[in-house]
Amino acid sequence: MTPVKIDHEYALSLEWTGNRGVGTADYRSYGRDHVVSAPGKHAIEGSADRVFRGDTDRWNPEELLLAALTQCHLLSYLHVAAVNGIVVVAYTDDSVGTMVQTGDGGGRFTRAVLRPTVTITDEGQRDLALALHARANELCFIASSVNFPVDHEPTILVA
C-alpha cells in the first residue's frame, strides 16, 4: 500500500520596518527590524542577531529556527507518549543551536541539541519514555526538513 501524501501549506506576511530614511544606502544605514504576521495571530517582531547589527529585543531567524525544532519535538514527543500510554505531566527544554559563519558572509547551522526534561507519572516507564525521543525525532516535520543533526540529551523525571 502506498503511503498517503497530504500537502499542507503555510502562509505568512513579512514587512521590513528598518528603513531609516535612506534605505540600504550602505551596510550601516538600515535597520534589520521586521514584523512577521499571519491572520489572527500575534505578530513576531524580528531582527538580525546582535553581531549582524540587529536588535537584541527582537527574535532573530536563528532563534526562530531553533524554536521551531524545539516546539516540533515537544509536540511529536507528547504524541508518541500518549500513544504509548505514558502520562507526561511536565516538559521543559533548554535547546542550543550552533551556526558557523563562512568567509563569504554566509553560514549554516551545523547542529542543534535539544535538552528536554520530561516528567512522567510511572517509574516503570522511564526507559520507554527515554527511548521515545528517537521516535519523536523521526516524526518531527521540522527535524526531518533540516540538513544538520538534531541531537537529544533528554532527562526523565518521575512525579
Write the pLDDT tens digit of every residue in 53-84: 989 999 999 999 999 999 999 999 999 999 99
pLDDT band at 23 (very low <50, low <70, confident <90, very high): confident
Spatial separation of the C-alpha atoms in residues 139 and 79, rounded to whole Å: 10
pTM of the model: 0.89
Work out the end-to-end distance of the chain between its first and last CA atoms, rounded to an integer number of angstroms: 42
pLDDT in tens, 130-143: 999 999 999 999 99
pLDDT band at 4 (very low <50, low <70, confident <90, very high): confident
The pLDDT > 70 percentage for the chain reads: 100
Q: Which domains does the chain have, with CATH numbers?
A: 1-59 (no CATH), 61-158 (3.30.300.20)
Give the helix/strand (H/E) hosting 67: helix 61-83
